Chains A and B, each alone.
Chain A
C-alpha cells in the first residue's frame, strides 16, 4: 500500500499529492511516468511524475479530474493509501544522456499546457541545475487554471504566462507566444512540449515553421505500462511504437498526432457510461 502524505488542490480540479513509494522514488528520472490504481476496482491510470525525492522516499503526482477514475484518485486524503503505485515507467528524457559540457551550452524552451505543466518541472529543474538555459511558457484556458508558476520561477531563467482569455499574461495560445518570443530575439536549441495532444500538435507545427526541434511527451492509453498490451501504440516516423516502453517522449516532427488523438478517444463511449453510473467517493466515511 502506498500512503498519501500530503495533498493540495492547486485549482478546483487539479490536485497535487505526495506519495510514499521508496523504490520508485529512488529510480525515477525526468521524463518518466508512473501508474496509480486507487483501489481494487480501479483502473490503472498513467500519471506523470512531477517530483521525486529518493532520500525521503516520495514521489509527487499532479492529477486533473477528468473522468470517474481521476475523480476517485483526487478523493483520497492524507493518511489513506492507494492500492498500487508502480514505476518509473518509460524512458528518461533524452538530455539525461548529454555530457555536462553540452548541457551547459543548451538553450531550452518548455511549452507547458494545463496539467502538463507539472511534469515539465523536474525536467526544467534538472537542466537548470546543470547550467542549461531554461525558459518556460505556461499556458492555460484562464488564470485560475494556471499551476506551478512559483515552482517554475525557481528552476528557470524566464517564465512566460499565457491564457486563452487574456486573464493573465499574454492573451492567446502558447504557439502565438512562442512565435512572439522567437521574433523578439530569444534563441533556443530545442523545444519540449507537454500538455494536451492538440496543443502538442500545434506547437509542433509552429516549431517546424521556426526550424526548432521539438520533443513531445505522449499521454496515450495504457493498461500495464510495461509493453505487454500495446494499447499505447503510436505512429512515429511511419513506424508503430509503444509509448510506454519506447516513449513517452518522441520527436514531435515524426508523430502522427491525428491518429494519436483518435486513439486516445477509443473508450469514450464506455467512459461516458461509467461517468454516468459513477458514485463519487468524496465524502465517503473512513
Chain B
C-alpha cells in the first residue's frame, strides 16, 4: 500500500548553524527522496488538492511524472498553471491549501506537495530551464504595474497568449515582496528568484525598473500616450502600519518593511553593500504573521536576542506553521499574550524598553478568534534596543489618487470585481492592492484571473 510509506522528511540546515548565516534553511528533496514521496500520492479521482490550490496546478499529474522520472514533463505540467513554482514550493501555506485537503492527511501525513513542487522547479532551473519561447505576437499591448507575484502571474499568462507585456517596477529590482520582503534564507534571490524571473522574460515579458506609476508616469498616460490597451495593477501592500502608541518615533523603532527592505533588497547583511541596518543586542518584533517571523529571524542572524511579542497565543499566530517552527528551533523567544502599550526611550531618544501589558483570551470575535483583553495592572517592561513593528500595511494612495475614475474602498483598497475589473474601463487589479496584505499564491491567483478578464476585454473591444 502506497500510503503506508511515511512522509519523507526534508533535510534542513542545523538550527544552531543557520541562526548565524543567511543560507537557505531547507535543502529540499534529492531525486530518490522526491520519487519516494511521489509514490505516496493516491491519484484520487477527484483530487481535492487541485481545487484547494489558488492557481489550480494539476498536482496528481505532475506527481505522477515525478514518480516516472520525467522531471521535465512534471515541470511542463506545473508551468501550465504557475509561473513561479520554485517560489511557491518554498513560501506557499500548503498546510491550509493543497496539503491541507490531501486525503492522506485525514489519518496521517499529507503528501509533501510543496516540497515536490520545489524539487521539480529546482530540477528544471538546474537543467537549462523550461526552454519556453515567446509565442507569435497578437498585436496587443498590455501594461502591468508591479513585478510582484500578482503582476508576474498576470504578465506570464498574457505573454503566453501573444500579448506584448511590459511590467513597470518602482524599485530597482524586479520581484516585489519576493525581493524586498522575503529573506534570503527562505527564498534565495540569485539561485531561485532570478531564475524564475528569467523564465518570465523568456516568454517575451519586458520589465522596466525605476518607474513609479502615479509619479514617473500615470495610468492615463500609459493608455493615452503609450498605446497600452489595458493595465493590470498589482502594486502590492503599501504603507506600513504602526500601533499609534507613544514613543513609536523614537530612534530604534522600525517597520518590518524598512528592516526587511534594508536587509533583503539592499543587502545590508553583506559587508560589501553600503546600506546600513540596526538590530542591536536585543530586538522585540511586534506581530505574529509571516512578516514578523521573517523580521525576527533576520534580526537573529544579525546577532540579536529576539522576542516575538504577540497579543494572542501560539495557536492564533497567523504565520505559517513551518515558519513558527523554524523560528522556535532557531531560538526566537515567543512572548505570547503580551501587548505593547508604549515604547520607552533614553535621554538621547533611543529605545530602551517596550512597556507591555499581559493579555488573556476573552470571547471569540467576528473572525472566530478569541479576542485578547488586557489584564488590569499587569504592565511590565521588556528592556530592548530595537522594536520592529510587523502589523501589516495600509494601501498606497499613489495610484488611486492619480488615476481618473479608479474607486477605492473605505479602507483605501482598489475596488475590483471577481474578474479583477476595476471601476475604470480597461484597468484591472489584483493581489494585496485589492485585498490588503495576503499571500503570494493568492496574489498569483488574482493575477491569472485578471489575465483572462483582460484577454476577454481586448477581444471584445
User: Taking beta carbons and an 8 Å cutoff, which residues of A are in contact with B?
Assistant: 23-24, 26-27, 37, 41-44, 68-69, 72, 83-89, 223-224, 226-231, 233-235, 240, 242, 245, 259, 262-263, 265-267, 269-271, 274
Contact = CB atoms under 8 A, between A and B. Distances in A.
Of B172, B210, B272, chain A has the most CB atoms within 10 Å of the CB of B210
Contacts of B239: 227-228, 230, 242, 245
B275 A43 contact: yes
Chain B: interface secondary structure?
loop
Interface string B147-184: 00000000000000000000000111000000010000
Contacts of B210: 84-86
Given A86-B212, A228-B396, A259-B249, 7 more contacts: A72-B274, A86-B210, A223-B261, A230-B257, A245-B398, A270-B276, A274-B276
B220 interface: no
B381 interface: no
A148 to B, nearest CB: 26
A271 B275 CA distance: 9
A165 B274 CA distance: 35
Nearest to A88: B215
Contacts of A271: 276
A270 B278 contact: yes
B248 interface: yes
B212 A87 contact: yes
Contact of B216 (A24, A68, A234, A262): A24
Interface residues of B, number: 40
Contacts of A240: 242, 248-249
B262 interface: yes
B264 to A, nearest CB: 11
B242 A230 contact: yes
A83 B210 CA distance: 10
Contacts of B238: 227-228
A274 B171 CA distance: 24
B172 A226 contact: no
A113 B276 CA distance: 27
Nearest to A223: B261
Contacts of A41: 267, 272-274
Interface in B245-286: 248-249, 251-252, 254-255, 257-258, 261-262, 265-267, 272-278
A223 B212 contact: no
Q: Which 7 A-B pairs have the closest CB atoms?
A: A270-B276, A229-B258, A86-B210, A230-B255, A84-B172, A267-B276, A262-B349
A70 to B, nearest CB: 11
B397 A245 contact: yes
A224 B261 contact: yes
A23 B277 CA distance: 31
Nearest to B349: A262
A270 B215 CA distance: 32
A235 B249 contact: yes
A185 to B, nearest CB: 41
